[in-house]
Structure 1
Amino acid sequence: MAEPQNTSGWKRFWERGGWWRSLLVVVGYYVLWQLLSLALGPIIAAVDTSNEAVAVLVSYGLPIALGCVILVVFALTTGWLRELFGKQPIRGRGWMWIAVVVTVLFNVLHFAGIDYAQAGGGLVAAWVVSSLFVGFAEEFLTRGLVVNLMRKAGYREIVVAVVSAALFAALHAGNLLSGQSVLATGFQLLYTFAFGICMYLALRVTGNLIWPILIHGTTDSATFLFTGNPAPGAISALAAQGNIVVILTGLILLIFIRGRVDAPTPAFADTQKPA
C-alpha cells in the first residue's frame, strides 16, 4: 500500500519498520526514561518515604508513569495509538492459551500466597498501581511498538516474537548498574525472555494489547508482594515455582510459532490467515 503524499518524513521513517528501528525505539526510550528518572531525583528525595507504600509509589511508580507518557506521545506522533490497541491482524490458535493460563495461574497463586496482614493494604495498593504502570510501559513498548515495527518490515512471526522478547529482556540488563549480581541478572534475562514470549502469545490469542498489559502488571505486583511478604503453607510453596514454570512454558511454546503478517501495514485492519 502506497504511503500518502502528505505523510510527514517522521511518520514515513517509522512506517518502514525493521529490527534496527525497533532497537532504536527501545534504546531511545530507555535513555529518555533514565534521564527523566535522574531529573526526578530531587523531587523524590524531598518526599518523606519512611512509609513503604509511599516509597513504592514515588520511587518506583512515578518514574515509570512518566515513562508511559513518553511512549504515548511517541505513538501519537506516528499516528499509531489507535492502531496499537486495535484488533490484531493475525489470529491466534488455541494452544496459545497455554501461555495465558500459566502466567495467570501463577499470578493467582502468588496473590493467594501473600501475608496481607504483614504487607498492609497501603503497600498492596501501591504495588498494584505501580506495577500496572510497568505493565503498560513495557508491553506498550515491546509487544506494541516493537511488534508493530517488525511486522511492518514483513518479518515472520517467529522473528517478531523473538526480537520483541529479546529487547524486553535486554531492558532488564540495566539492573547490573544498580548493583544486582551477574548471576541474578542472567537468570532475570532468561526469565524475562521466556515471559516475553508468553506475553507475545497472549497478544496473539486475545487479539488486543490490553491483555498482555494487565497480565504483566499483575505479574509484577503479585511477585513483588509475594517475595516480600510470603505466607507459610502449600500455596506459597507452589507459587514459588512460578519462575521456572514460566521459563519452560515460554521456551517450549516458542517452537510452535508460525506465520507472518503482510507488510507494509499502515493500520491493523486486514485479517490474515491464522498461524
Structure 2
Amino acid sequence: MAVLVGYLVIVVVVAAIAGVPFDEVGTSAESIYRSTVPSFVVGAVYLVAVTTALGWWRPALHDRRPSARRWPIVVPVLMALLALVSFAQTEWSAFDASFLIALLLLGVGVGFCEELAARGVLLVALRSRYREVGVWLLSTLLFGAMHLANSLSGLAPEKALLQGAIAAGSGTVFYILRRVTGSLVWAMVLHGMWDVSVFTVNFVDDETIPVAGLATPLIGLLGLAVVAWVIRGADERTASDTPPAVEAEGADRARP
C-alpha cells in the first residue's frame, strides 16, 4: 500500500506542477509531454528502484503456475481487437510526428507503471497474506480507486467515480491476461494499447460511432464473468514456499 500511495503522490504532484487540466490531457502533443510523460518517467524510476530494493522482480513479472484454463484469454483478445477497431476509426491525419511519439510514450508509460504498481508489486504483497480471490478483488478495487486521484486534476467527482468503476473492470481483464499467460508483460502491452485507443477515439469524424469507447463497460463485465476460472486452483502465495507443517516438523527435529 505504501508503494502504491507513493506512486500516486508522484503522479498527482507532477500533474499539479504541469498545470494541465485533466480534460486537456491527450488533446495535443504538448499536453502529453508536459503532464503524462514526466509523471511516468518519475513514476517508473520510483517503481524500478522499489522493486529492485525489495527483490521482487521475478514474482512481480511472472506467475509460478499460470492458469490451467486458457480459454478466458478470449476477453483480453476481444479487448485488443476493440483497440484495433478504435485505431482503424481514428483520423490519423490529425496527428503530426510529435503527437504520434507522444502517444507512443503515453502507452509505454501507462502500461509499464500502472501494471507494475497494481498487478506487479501490489499483487506480490497481497499474495503474502490472502488467497487468490482476495488478491484479485483487492488489487482490482485499488486499481479502480487509483483513478479517483484524477479528480485532483480537474475531473468532476462523478466522472472520476465512473472512471474508477470502468478501470476496475479493465483491471480484471489485465489480471486475467497475467494469469493465463503467466506474465505481466502482456498485460503491460494490452494496457498501453488500450489507453492509447481511448485517447485516439476522440479523433474520429462526426459520423463515426466510437465502437471501442462504447464497449468498454461490456469488456469489464465479461472479465468479471470469467475471472473465477483463472482464480480457481491458483497457488501463488509468496509468504513462504514451505508449508507451516513442514517448517514445524523441521524445527522439532532440530531440537536437542
Common topology (TM > 0.5): yes
Q: How far apart are residue 232 of structure 1 and its match?
A: 5.6
Q: How far apart are residue 237 of structure 1 and its match?
A: 4.0
Q: Which residue of 2 aligns with 1:263?
A: 237
| Aligned partner (choices 94, 98, 116) of residue 74 of structure 2 | 98
Q: How far apart are residue 225 of structure 1 and its match?
A: 1.5
Q: Which residue of 2 aligns with 1:170?
A: 145
Aligned residue identity for 1:252 = A
Q: Would you say the 8 A contact 1:124–1:225 is kept in 2?
A: no
**CA RMSD, Structure 1 to Structure 2 (Å):** 2.4
Distance in 2 (alpha carbons) for counterparts of 1:71 and 1:186: 26
Distance in 1 (alpha carbons) for counterparts of 2:171 and 2:75: 10
Aligned residue identity for 1:208 = S
Q: Which residue of 1 aligns with 2:54?
A: 78
Taking structure 1 as the reference length, what is the TM-score of the superposition? 0.76
Deviations, residues 74-118 of structure 1 (Å, cap 9, x unaligned) = 011111124423x41122222320221121111111111110012
| Aligned partner (choices 2, 5, 8) of residue 30 of structure 1 | 8
Q: Would you say the 8 A contact 1:131–1:221 is kept in 2?
A: yes
**Paired residue total:** 233
Q: How far apart are residue 144 of structure 1 and its match?
A: 0.4
Deviations, residues 204-237 of structure 1 (Å, cap 9, x unaligned) = 111111111111011111110122x114666x44
Q: Would you say the 8 A contact 2:178–2:186 is kept in 1?
A: yes
Distance in 2 (alpha carbons) for counterparts of 1:233 and 1:207: 41
Q: Does residue 1:243 correspond to 2:216, yes or no?
A: yes
Q: Would you say the 8 A contact 1:114–1:226 is kept in 2?
A: yes
| Aligned partner (choices 107, 117, 129) of residue 131 of structure 1 | 107
| Structure 2 stretches lacking a partner, 5+ long | 21-26, 242-256
Q: Which residue of 1 aligns with 2:86?
A: 110
Taking structure 2 as the reference length, what is the TM-score of the superposition? 0.81
Q: Secondary structure at the match of 2:235?
A: coil
| Structure 1 stretches lacking a partner, 5+ long | 1-22, 45-50, 268-275
Q: How far apart are residue 152 of structure 1 and its match?
A: 2.1
